[in-house]
Amino acid sequence: MQEEVENKTLTLIVSGTKFTGRLLKAAISKYMAHRRNVKLGKQRGRETPVVHRGRQTVQQLTRQNQGISNIDFQDKDIRRFDRIARKYGVDYAVRKDRSAAPPKYLIFFKGRDTDAINAAFQEYLGQKVRRASRPSVLERLERFKGLVRGTAEKVRKQVLER
């Protein structure tokens, strides 16, 4: 048991005359850079490259040599689509196009994922239509305020009549 604890312990030796927060931050960042280099060295030593899944950059998507397609997406709420795309297991990349007046998004995906991306878009649009058909919380609140005002006036009249 003691050996397991000792193996998982990290020793970081920092030499300095005055130990400050900046010195600690610099030491930790150097250690993290070292760990990144070690990880990259291990990845380079592998025979097969690491395949990314889900949301990724356009460069990572093109490196997979699967053929890429894209779709224009003009909704600001891209995170809801992210959630649905992860559910369908689609490999995709999102790029924001700021040249248009309302910024639009380009969603790149693999050519073989067309059926999955279509299903994800259908589910996303179905959720959006359902949300649009529901009255907002503010509208419901105003309706209930009106109901409460009506009942409060009746109670006042009954108290005054007594």
Reported as a single tens digit per residue, the pLDDT across 109-141 is 887 778 888 888 899 889 888 888 888 888 888
Reported as a single tens digit per residue, the pLDDT across 23-57 is 889 888 998 999 898 888 887 776 666 677 778 88
Mean pLDDT of the chain: 80
CB atoms within 10 A of CB 105: 17
3-state secondary structure of 90: coil
pLDDT at 33 (0 to 100): 92
Tokens of 16: 């300095």
109 in Cβ contact with 70 (< 8 Å): yes
The residue among 65, 115, 125 whose CA lies nearest residue 90 is 115
3-state secondary structure of 104: strand
- The answer, as to whether pTM is greater than 0.75, is no
Which has more confidence, 60 or 155? 60
Res 10 pLDDT > 70: no
* Over residues 73-97, mean pLDDT: 83
pLDDT tier for residue 88 given thresholds of 50, 70 and 90: confident
